Amino acid sequence: MNFQDELIKRTKEIENVIRQYLPEEEGFAMTMAQAMNYSMLAGGKRLRPMLLKETYCLFGGEGRAAEPFIAAIEMIHTHSLIHDDLPAIDNDDYRRGRLTTHKVYGEAMGVLSGVSLLNYAYEVMLKAFDLTQETERVISALRIMAEKTGINGMLGGQSVDVENDGKPITKEMLDYIYKNKTSALIEASMMAGAVLAGADQRQTALVCKAAEDIGLAFQIQDDILDVVSSEKELGKPVHSDEKNHKVTYVSLMGIEQASRQVNQLSNEAIALLESLEQKNEFLCELIRSLIHRRK
């Protein structure tokens, strides 16, 4: 089977896992459950759960212990997108090719369903204790998720981004923003997959570094696509960085140099993973495919 076919097959498997953990649309809070599911089922690439699962497989993970984490990482990611699109942040109308959550359900429900997805992710991850005897691994994965998504990770990066919107910032600050708002969640995905499968500290630290590079490359490619792609292809508005006078890798060094950085960071990540005794060729191919992603 070639990589594209395999990617489609594995994405479907991830979709099936995610669906099992979504909230029921019933009772008085039904509208919020519908808003949560609306964004969860809008069809993103499912990159973070895929990275979690593939890293779990890399270290020989078996059984269902990773499943709640696969669903939860996509819930945390989707929460960040719902809130990123709100009028108080980016005020965007389209995401994943559809109207944004607040456009369909209203701003208050956008705030509520976003935070509810973040909270629900933890309810879901706790279910892993029912699926494995390896409770210490679950605790380590939970710690990683909490740390990488909070002030010392995704939210820290996002806060510095918001605070400096439209201001001229240094490359050092830009790197802090990218490594936190984007890399941290990718680090959480891969590190959680690693520890759930029983990876040791050295292996987990190596995975963290590879994930940081993948996240940085992913965000730089996001900057490039904002310039060279279309709303139709991306499913979200383009040219928003220029409109918001945002400093990006493209505005700092131009598209060609930014593309070279994507290439270099991705190859560094692959080299790190290939230095491990354990192998997952599909994972390396997935990282390679992100270099030239069009959405």
> Binding residues for ligand GRG, per CB under 6 A?
44-45, 47, 80-81, 83-84, 89, 96, 154-155, 158, 181-182, 219, 222
HSE of 146, CA atoms in CB hemisphere, 13 A: 10
Query: In this structure, are residues 152 and 83 in contact, taking their beta carbons and an 8 Å threshold?
Result: no
Q: Which amino acid does the sequence have at 123? A: E
Q: Which is nearer to ligand GRG, 206 or 290 (CB)?
A: 290
SS3 call for 92: coil
Q: Which is nearer to ligand GRG, 13 or 84 (CB)?
A: 84
Query: In this structure, are residues 178 and 216 in contact, taking their beta carbons and an 8 Å threshold?
Result: yes
Q: Which is nearer to ligand GRG, 72 or 154 (CB)?
A: 154
Question: Helix H segments across the chain?
Answer: 3-20, 30-40, 47-58, 67-85, 101-105, 107-126, 135-149, 154-163, 171-178, 184-196, 201-228, 231-234, 240-243, 249-274, 281-291
Buried b (16+ CB within 10 A) or exposed e, 194-206: bbbbebeeebbeb
Q: Which is nearer to ligand GRG, 137 or 148 (CB)?
A: 148
133 to 52, 68, 136, 194: CA distances (angstroms): 20, 15, 9, 17
Q: Which is nearer to ligand GRG, 46 or 137 (CB)?
A: 46
Query: In this structure, are residues 211 and 190 in contact, taking their beta carbons and an 8 Å threshold?
Result: yes
Q: Which is nearer to ligand GRG, 219 or 259 (CB)?
A: 219
Name the token pair of 253: 């060094």
Q: 95 — phi, psi (to 5°)? A: -155, 135
CB of 80 to ligand GRG, least distance (A): 4
CB of 155 to ligand GRG, least distance (A): 5
Distance from chain centroid for Cα 274: 22
CB of 24 to ligand GRG, least distance (A): 23
CB of 141 to ligand GRG, least distance (A): 20
Evaluate the CA torsion angle 29, 30, 36, 40 in order and state its sign: positive
Q: Which is nearer to ligand GRG, 96 or 137 (CB)?
A: 96
CB of 81 to ligand GRG, least distance (A): 6
Residue with the CB atom nearest ligand GRG in the bound state: 44
Q: Tokens 């649309």 identify what position?
A: 25
Q: Which is nearer to ligand GRG, 59 or 178 (CB)?
A: 178
CB of 202 to ligand GRG, least distance (A): 28
CB of 221 to ligand GRG, least distance (A): 9
CB of 100 to ligand GRG, least distance (A): 11
